Amino acid sequence: MSANSSGSATYSGTLDGSNAKRGLWSSRLAFILAATGSAVGLGNIWKFPYVTGENGGGAFVLIYLVCIAVVGIPIMMAEVMIGRRGGHSPVNSLRLIAAREGLKPVWRMIGAVGVLAGFLILSFYSVIGGWAVSYVGTAASGQFAGQSAEAIGAIFSGLLSDPAALLLWHSVFLALVMVVVARGVRSGLERAVSILMPALFVLLLIVVGYAMTSGSFGRAAAFLFQPDFSKLTTSGILVALGHAFFTLSLGMAVMMAYGSYLPKNISIAKTSITVSVIDTGVALLAGLAIFLIVFANGLEPGAGPGLIFQTLPLAFGQMPMGSLFGTLFFVLLIFAAWTSGISLLEPIVEWLEEQKGMNRTVSTLGAGVVCWALGIVSILSLNLWADFAPLGFVPMLEDKTIFDLLDFFTANILLPLGGFLVAVFAGWVMSRQALENELSLSAPMFRLWYVTIRFITPVAVAAVFLYNLA
Ligand code: PHE
């Protein structure tokens, strides 16, 4: 049996007994930091506030929270569990578990879909990470100081209309990610997150602390927490579900890959809940800080993807020591995006290493370069191809550029689909004994999770999908 209860750095407890030299996270904290590093990213600080703004606030936030609890946490547990049980890259973990349960290897496709989705996401994620890198310099050099909303809007549109600059910053961001991934789990991933995550929390608190002094707490809190269901649309519900997957890094094998490095003696339920709670807390804090500033300055909450790049610099430009706070904020954004980018690259690198026998540096370089090239498509659709809507004939997608489509398809379709399949695999395909064994929960807790992952989670995901199609 695969159970090996030692928390030592290496073990041979994988399903096929192979790969005895895989590194493992050194502790529960290391895993929590890494998984939180993956979960907390642009999704929390950039995307959550703007999709909330676009979808009318409170009601959207409420649906999002329900999705986290009913869909997100059970699936995160399932993914980590599958990864640890399989002890390999996602594709092979699924194949091994399926083989052990006497099933067809086709189940490994869940892992393959996930790895592909992660790859697509990283290609545009890195472009946005690049915006953050570029904004550190802009903030530090005092360019926001005393500027009007128009001037600040012009800085942002100037960046988006400059393919060469975007390419440069995208390259810098992806290089940062690749350097860490190439160094491996212990000396790369683990070391990076244990420095970056605590720094991120401190920076976030500073920004929230400042925003609190702006005097618009009532309006910001009402916008975020007072549900007005007349503002919620059907597609808003799909966006909330998709965002729950995106923000918890689910549906794309990331948590499986991270779970595969998790020592056997660590509780999957406790760690998954901790990670989800921290992730949600960071999103709400970031949202609060951003809407405090938005309302205090009479700005527009529904400004879209440019929200934090246009509204916040305006506030930084007016506050005392704004250049310093602005610089700190964008450094924070880079840290958050960096640890997530690392987790997006990890599954494919893990797979290349194991499947193709490449060493880590070569597999990181190979995957990174392909991803970099793919990012160019996103870059061009921000400027030269800005009017090109390849699926213009499909309702709902009329005005979406390639960049928008990548975001839409990955977050709202591929991730929920991947998550749905994970739920089915864990809930209906794996033997109950294997699940009990790996999760080691008390009987009532196990039953709660089991009922949720078998019935509630898949039905909720399917319902949102069908509702949107209709
Ligand atoms: N969860 C990350 C964020 O919120 C993005 C991400 C998605 C990372 C999927 C890994 C996998 O920004």
Range of the domain at 361: 2-469
**Cβ proximity of 439 and 268 under 8 Å:** yes
Cβ < 6 Å from ligand 1: which residues?
38-39, 41-44, 118, 121, 246-247, 249, 252, 254, 340, 343-344
Q: Is-contact 347 90, C-beta < 8 A?
A: yes
Query: Tell me, what's the pLDDT at 22?
Result: 60
Q: How is residue 439 written in tokens? A: 């999760």
**CA angle 152-155-161, nearest 5°?**
140
How far apart CA 177 and CA 345 sit, in angstroms, is 8
Mutate to test the pocket of ligand 1, among 249, 255, 409 (most ligand atoms within 8 A of CB): 249
Q: List the residue whose alpha carbon is closest to atom 9 of ligand 1.
A: 249
Q: How far is the CA of 54 from the centre of ligand 1 (A)?
A: 20
Tell me how far apart the alpha carbons of residues 10 and 269 are, in angstroms, rounded to a whole number.
22
Contact (CB, 8 A) for 110 and 94: yes
- How far apart CA 377 and CA 355 sit, in angstroms, is 28
Distance 366 CA to ligand 1 centre (A): 21
Contact assessment for residue 131 and residue 322, using Cβ atoms and an 8 Å cutoff = no
| pLDDT for residue 16 | 55
Listed in sequence order, the DSSP H helices in 5-57 are: 28-39, 42, 48-54
**3-class SS letters over 181-193:** HHCCHHHHHHHHH
Give residue 10's pLDDT: 36
Q: What is the pLDDT of residue 287?
A: 92
Distant-in-sequence, close-in-space partners of 359: CB < 8 Å, separation ≥ 6: 353
Ligand 1 centroid, distance to 400 Cα (angstroms): 21
**Which residue positions in the chain have pLDDT lower than 50?**
1-13, 17-21
How far, in Å, is the centroid of ligand 1 from the Cα of 35?
10
pTM score = 0.89
Q: pLDDT tens digits, residue range 193-207?
A: 778 888 888 878 887
The pLDDT of residue 275 is 95
Q: What is the pLDDT of residues 233-278, one digit of tens each?
A: 988 998 899 899 999 999 888 999 889 889 888 999 999 999 999 9
Across 61-70, b (16+ Cβ under 10 Å) vs e yields bbbbbbbbeb
The residue whose C-alpha atom lies closest to atom 6 belonging to ligand 1 is: 249
Q: Which of 222, 390, 359, 234 has its CA nearest to residue 295? A: 222
Q: Using alpha carbons only, what angle is made at residue 151 by residues 145 and 155, rounded to the nearest 5 degrees? A: 90
Could you tell me the end-to-end alpha-carbon distance of the chain, in angstroms, rounded to an integer?
A: 47
- Rounded CA separation 290/299 (Å): 11
Å from CA of 122 to ligand 1 middle: 9
The four Cα atoms 52, 58, 62, 64 give a dihedral, to 10 degrees, of 0
Domain count across the chain: 1
**H-type alpha helices, 2-101:** 28-39, 42, 48-54, 58-67, 73-86, 90-100
pLDDT value of residue 451: 97
CATH number at residue 6: 1.20.1740
